[in-house]
A and B are shown apart, each in its own frame.
Chain A
């Protein structure tokens, strides 16, 4: 068994590997490393591995295990025979890294001034701090291709808007608590919007369909002063 996680049922056809119950950079890295290991092994019954901040769902194709009496029990047994020790010892797989150009403030980031006021900083300082950190895609969720990025400078954290916006523009970069994220498509949303990117986060007809994979590294580049569309 692994020192990294405990195993819980998640309904009839999934198990949940629990690494912790808080948002923590090291725990989240372990989640993604274990997800990569399971994806590499790709047993026939494995439908999907779904990372979250501190948990990892293992989705099981029960139809591929129709000859097994206790499918989830069998998956638990299989997990117990995998070797996660290297991950626990800090050997982590390589991940993708991305630079995303963002135009901050103005119409692109209508909440930049509010975030600055909340932080007791100037808008320029907020942009500088937001664009100088390295972020990890803690998970993709809420909407298709929506990245929850962890690693933001705590000084620019701010709760969600009391009243969500009815329409947030696609590509909007927002802050919610200690996290930052990007809206893949236009729609309602409550994050504090500080900027916008032209990068296409999700396109079901493209391969790969998402710009970012869970576990990838992201940096924002301040493109506020350059003209024209950019990504």
Chain B
């Protein structure tokens, strides 16, 4: 079965859980920026972990379902309707053949995930179907979706319905993802000291419009590195907080380059990456200190909530 892209939205791309093992060749992770919402969307439609979904940015696509399909939309709070009928997020929805799903504006958050039972079937490269937008491979020809693309969906549950059927059960993503509350991000120490730690933690940082899947560019009082000498390139990871010479930090996300020469002043913990992925230009975020033990506890709690959700959705 397949889904026709009538219009692509601002930046929609095929993503899964990314490439973890290829940084030594300069290949980044890619994958769903908000891996938590992506995972829940897959679980809602009964997909195995890691099947490919559509990541939507700020404004969604218009899609024609040529066959009946079970879908779920998670992540940002996004306007969605099927032929005039509003479709809620965080629920399983069955669509009849011929449905046109219109995804509109994200009202809260920046990225929504549309999972389809069976998962999107494009060629896996380096172990993943994710679109690597920087290196231009994976997903649909290594690029964002465009009008006229026909997305093949692998075999999966096919509902038998003549009207959209919205499941009564829904998932509450809080506390792992609570878009109504200000973003508070836990930071592990980095390699490079700054002169004024207080400024990093006391500031409400603003997300710049120049942010993208590679990283969030933050605006606030300029930070100063304690030892300003030139550095040679060293490995960086999603979550690394870099400080370029202009004093405005960059928080790297899933499309992070593999190496960087900027000082690394901190690292955001994994459990907070989903909330970071949902920040929009102009949004504020604050940082709080964290240690390895707290980071681990938060990561394990988040995973346990996902497991419990899977069991409940059974």
Contact = CB atoms under 8 A, between A and B. Distances in A.
Contacts of B22: 48, 209
Given A8-B191, A145-B25, A214-B24, A185 B135 contact: yes
B292 A12 contact: yes
Contacts of A210: 25-26
A55 B234 CA distance: 6
A12 B267 contact: yes
B277 interface: no
Contact of B125 (A56, A59, A204): A204
B270 interface: yes
A144 B25 contact: yes
A8, A11, A21, A205 pick with most chain B CB within 10 angstroms: A11
A12 B291 CA distance: 9
B98 interface: no
Contacts, number: 141
Interface of A: 8-14, 16, 21-23, 35, 47-57, 59, 61-63, 66, 70-72, 139-146, 148, 185, 202, 204-205, 209-210, 213-214
Contacts of A204: 27, 125-126, 132, 135, 137-138, 142
Interface string B117-141: 0000001011000001011111000
A19 to B, nearest CB: 11
27 contacts: A9-B189, A10-B237, A11-B239, A12-B239, A12-B270, A21-B232, A23-B232, A49-B24, A50-B235, A52-B232, A52-B259, A53-B233, A59-B21, A63-B303, A70-B292, A70-B296, A140-B25, A140-B26, A142-B257, A143-B257, A144-B25, A144-B27, A144-B135, A145-B25, A204-B132, A204-B135, A213-B25
Contacts of A144: 25-28, 132, 134-135, 137
B73 to A, nearest CB: 26
Given A12-B188, A52-B233, A55-B234, A202 B126 contact: no
